[in-house]
Structure 1
């Protein structure tokens, strides 16, 4: 087993990741605007981190093979993935950046980002501890909840209520 994953640093990061995931899924239900903003930051950071990591140390992704749930994932990571690590992870990072960009948006773009986040979260679940299981299950639930949210305004524009709009139109 990789030393990183058996160290206390890993378990602290694992616990914090799951705590943040619980807070995010709670925000998706109670404070969807805050959740959208937080997910945009999280996935923006994750996309940037994956780009930097894969360009500087692409071999670190092979360590995830030790923690997968299904043997086919292990076979893929230690086999075909080794030859395509950089383009594969860059594609994942592009997807993460798409999710980050879509969270503050509206309409189809917002909903597409929710779907992408939902599918991404489910797709990496079989990485087990490598994906901080069950954190990604919580995020999938959060993205599903957000997809049902109206998402009818851009995050940087304050939503005005009807009372304020009537007052503004009268003046």
Structure 2
């Protein structure tokens, strides 16, 4: 399969990743919301794709430069695509939801998201590389920040002080 680093989705994905990294440095809570949206949006995309066209995921075996990834994708993964993608979707939803919390759940989600993004990087253009590394950097930036409240709590404060 031919790779196209000039395709619109590839370019947009990498622009969004760069924007998210910059925002995560400047406004960590907005960065968390963006990353949450990215994870939950990816979960929705993956769930829909696995339901409608599961064999599309076999293209990742052709796109990766990793022999190990290729053998897994074209081997056990190919026989149970919907199961593996369903697990992946749950993982992505949980990471996306818990990024909006604070404390240990948030930090765990940031670590889990970083591991996931580093794990998909070897898919190459199939993961819109280098976007996963840029997004993982965003999460690492956020892990190092002191975040004292969840997005849910922050929204509650805004609503409470909203003029009636």
Does TM-score exceed 0.5, indicating one fold?
yes
Q: Deviations over 1:131-166 (max 9, x none)?
A: 01101000111111111122210113339xxxxxxx
- Tell me the residue number matched to 1:43: 39
CA contact (8 A) 2:61 2:69 kept: yes
| Larger-gyration structure (1/2) | 1
> What is aligned with 2:159?
none
Deviations along 1:85-125, one digit per CA (max 9) or x if unpaired, are 11111111111101110111011110011001100010001
CA distance 1:79–1:143, shift in 2 (3 Å): same
Structure 2 unaligned regions, length at least 5: 156-164
- Structure 2 residue aligned with 1:165: none
After TM superposition, give the deviation of residue 76 of structure 1 in Å: 1.3
Q: 1:32 aligns with which of 8, 28, 47?
A: 28
The aligned residue for residue 115 of structure 1 is 111
* Count of aligned pairs: 155
Within-5 A mapping of 1:11-90: 11-90=7-86
Q: Which shifted more, 11-20 or 64-73?
A: 64-73
Structure-2 residue corresponding to 1:157: 153
In the TM superposition, residue 126 of structure 1 has moved relative to its aligned partner by 0.5
Contact 2:42 2:92 in 1 (8 A): yes
Q: CA 1:24–1:124 in 2, change beyond 3 Å: closer, same or farther?
A: same
Task: Find the aligned partners of 1:69 and 1:99 in 2 and give their Cα distance.
Answer: 27
Runs of 4+ aligned residues of structure 1 deviating over 4 Å after TM superposition are: 5-8
Structure 2 Cα separation of the partners of residues 158 and 127 of structure 1: 37
CA displacement at 1:7 relative to structure 2: 9.4
Deviation at 1:27, TM superposition (A): 1.2
Instruction: Specify the alignment match of 2:126 in structure 1.
Output: 130
Measure the CA separation in 2 of the matches of 1:90 and 1:158: 31
Which residue does the alignment assign to 2:136? 140
